[in-house]
Amino acid sequence: MIGVLQGVAMLTVGIFGFAVVLNRDPLPQAMVFTFFGGSLVVLFIVLQAPDVSLSAIVVGAMAYPLMTVLTLAKCRGRSR
């Protein structure tokens, strides 16, 4: 059976995932994505998968937003 905590964690992932899709502008999307990544981290902790949780932290909070922001900076630099 799904516990209350697990259900809330999954629901949060769903809500933030939906929010990421609703944002069409890449820069706000990258910011919302960090929240989505954070909710995934919580979900993996709740499901007792600390290894995956650590990976989710480094990818969702660090690597992915960094790449997005740097790419945006590069694109805007070119169009200027």
Partner 1 sequence: MKARTRLALFAIPVVGVAALLLWSFAGLPSFGHYRGPYGNEINAQAVPRRHTTNAVAAVNFDYRGFDTIGEEFILFAAVMGVSALLRLQRQEHKEESPLEHARAHASTEMADSVAVVCMGLVTPFVLLGLYIVVHGHLTPGGGFQGGVILASAFLMVYLAGRYITFRQLSPKGLLDAGEGSGAGGFVLVGFVGMLAGAAFLENVLPLGQSGKVFSAGTLPVINLSVGFEVGAGLLLVMWEFLEQALMVRS
Residues that bind partner 1 (CB under 8 A): 1-2, 50-51, 53-55, 57-59, 62-63, 66-67, 70-71, 73-74, 77-78, 80
Q: How far is the CB of 62 from partner 1 (least distance, A)?
A: 5
Which residue stretches of 1-80 are H helix? 4-22, 26-46, 50-57, 64-79
Q: How far is the CB of 5 from partner 1 (least distance, A)?
A: 13
Tell me whether residue 15 or residue 67 sits nearer to partner 1 (CB atom): 67
Q: Say if CB 31 and CB 16 are below 8 A apart.
A: no
Instruction: Give the residue carrying structure tokens 């769903």.
Output: 14
